[in-house]
Amino acid sequence: MPAQTPSHISASTISVWLTTADQSQLLQAQSETPAFSLMQSEPAQIVIDPQQRLQTIEGFGFSLTGGSALLLSRLPQSARQALLKELFSTAGIGISFLRLSIGASDLSERSFSYNDLSAGESDFELAQFDLQAGDRELVSLLLEILAINPDIKIIATPWSAPCWMKTNQAWVGGSLNSECRGVYAQYFANYLLAMREQGIAIHAITPQNEPQNHKNDPSMVMTAEEQADFVKNHLGPTLASNGLGDVEILCWDHNCDVTEFTLSVFADSEASHYLSGSAWHLYGGDIAVLSDIHQAHPEQKLYFTEQWVGNDGQFGGDLMWHIRNVLIGATRNWCNIVLEWNLASDPNCCPHTPGGEARCVGALTVDGERISRNVAYYIIAHAAKWVRPGSVRIHSTDNVLPNVAFLTPDDEIVLIALNDGPENKMVTIGYGGQSATLTLPAGSVASCVWLRNS
């Protein structure tokens, strides 16, 4: 359940919310509030400096897959509304960013696009484009979410082009036919315009989910050269000519073990003219490489758009790894958003396509009318509830415990700190010439909130 916020946050004391690996505390407000006092003789172990301001935070959240929308839509209206308010209002955990698939993802019931044809047919005029070709519950659920949080931002990405546009004429693998790059760009525009007609504004897109993944169902391969050409000669100009120039385009949308793709696309000045940044997952590589990308191209944003939780994991181990590498790791390495993967699944990790990933645990498990909150729910909640859009990451030292700090639009300091060791840890927080001592239990994450000194 969502954490309860005290009636006031003070500048002299720290309000703390804790989640532990053993699940004895789940986003639990702590009764003891550490107090700041004049700096002690021993130096502080975590020093926070709000004068050193880094990247702006745009939000935290999940992918709203077609399967998620299907499961949530089946809940009775009153139960669904209560759950959506818990998820998307600031009285709940305050999810502020969502990711959608353009057409099917592998967590849809089946592979589809918005322009499917019989074998051997083509439709370069996109006369048969149909936003309701699949995942039919998505639009209506999004409208319910927007009624609760009209400011939520959305990024959308395709897992595959329509089969008739692909070299192998199939859902799995293959690449985009070069002669279909123009019509595929218009396919993006048609999607964005159709969503706007429904009252849903898409903030950003990526040209392809995991462009080096040829095994997923659906999937499509795209090289850096192909993506640069598609962006500069087709997608960017087509969005502009359709009045969609305000929709941001980010390249890549794959793992941290390959940086050459992104750097190659950025090196193309005509392509980078249309780009706002790059998007990343962490199924391979080290999150620290994103600082290298930022250093090379500080003008380009970094979005962390996906990390899954598998059904072979354990709550405690997943909590520790994701907080360290995804929540803290991505933000300390310049990401503007952090999204975990799937918002909801059933107890059998369904729905998914026949060849899609069959082990994805949702942030929620929806079992009929029963709702279970899983580890990803708490990972995102520890940031989303307090680090609201428009917050800025600020300097904090991290030589003792993994941590990240933010200054919010409400003039609050938020420190997220992790103790993934086997023993309790007492740590001194230094801020504004004062210090406070916080004890973190073994295997725990804390969100610490206090008002900035006036």
pLDDT in tens, 330-341: 999 999 999 999
Q: Amino acid identity of 237? A: P
Helix (H) / strand (E) element for 188: namely: helix 181-197
Domain count, the chain: 2
Residue 42 has pLDDT above 90, yes or no: no
**pLDDT tier at 347 (50, 70, 90 boundaries)?**
very high
Average pLDDT estimate for 342-363: 98
Average pLDDT, the chain: 96
Neighbour order of strands in the sheet with 370-373: 344-345, 364-367, 370-373
Do residues 194 and 281 both lie within one domain?
yes
Start-to-end CA distance of the chain, whole Å, equals 33
Residue 41 has pLDDT above 90, yes or no: no
Do residues 249 and 357 both lie within one domain?
yes
Residue 7 has pLDDT above 80, yes or no: no
Q: Are 373 and 27 in contact (CB under 8 A)?
A: no
pLDDT (0 to 100) of residue 38: 85
Q: Is residue 9 part of a domain?
A: no
CA 274 to CA 255: how far, in whole Å? 22
Do residues 29 and 103 both lie within one domain?
no
CA 287 to CA 329: how far, in whole Å? 6
Q: Is residue 194 part of a domain?
A: yes
Lowest mean pLDDT segment, chosen from 3-7, 297-301, 385-389: 3-7
Do residues 435 and 374 both lie within one domain?
no
Q: pLDDT tens, 204-226?
A: 999 999 999 999 999 999 999 99
Q: Which of 364, 389, 414 is the last residue of a domain?
A: 389
Do residues 351 and 435 both lie within one domain?
no
Q: Which of 374, 389, 404 is the last residue of a domain?
A: 389
Average pLDDT estimate for 325-331: 98
Q: Is residue 8 part of a domain?
A: no
Q: Is residue 83 part of a domain?
A: yes
DSSP calls for 314-354: -HHHHHHHHIIIIIIHHHHTT-SEEEEEESEE-TT-----T
Q: Is residue 172 part of a domain?
A: yes
pLDDT (0 to 100) of residue 10: 65
Do residues 385 and 405 both lie within one domain?
no
Burial letters 420-451, b for 16+ CB under 10 A, else e: beeeebebbbbbeebbbbbebbebbbbbbbbb
pLDDT (0 to 100) of residue 396: 98
Q: pLDDT tens, 232-253?
A: 999 999 999 999 999 999 999 9
Do residues 28 and 90 both lie within one domain?
no
Do residues 148 and 70 both lie within one domain?
yes
Q: Is residue 1 part of a domain?
A: no
Positive or negative, the CA dihedral 341, 326, 275, 178 is negative
Do residues 261 and 300 both lie within one domain?
yes
Parent domain of 358:
58-389
Residue 9 has pLDDT above 80, yes or no: no
From 383, 392, 284, 386, select the one nearest 334 (Cα to Cα).
392
DSSP calls for 381-450: HHHHTTS-TT-EEEEE--SSS-EEEEE-TTSEEEEEEEE-SSS-EEEEEEETTEEEEEEE-SSEEEEEEE
Q: Is residue 4 part of a domain?
A: no
Do residues 65 and 202 both lie within one domain?
yes
DSSP designation for 172: S
Q: Is residue 7 part of a domain?
A: no
State the CATH number of the domain containing residue 215: 3.20.20.80
pLDDT (0 to 100) of residue 43: 73
Do residues 262 and 407 both lie within one domain?
no
Q: Which of 341, 365, 389 is the last residue of a domain?
A: 389
Do residues 407 and 438 both lie within one domain?
yes
Residue 6 has pLDDT above 70, yes or no: no
Q: pLDDT tens, 59-80?
A: 999 999 999 999 999 999 999 9
State the CATH number of the domain containing residue 51: 2.60.40.1180
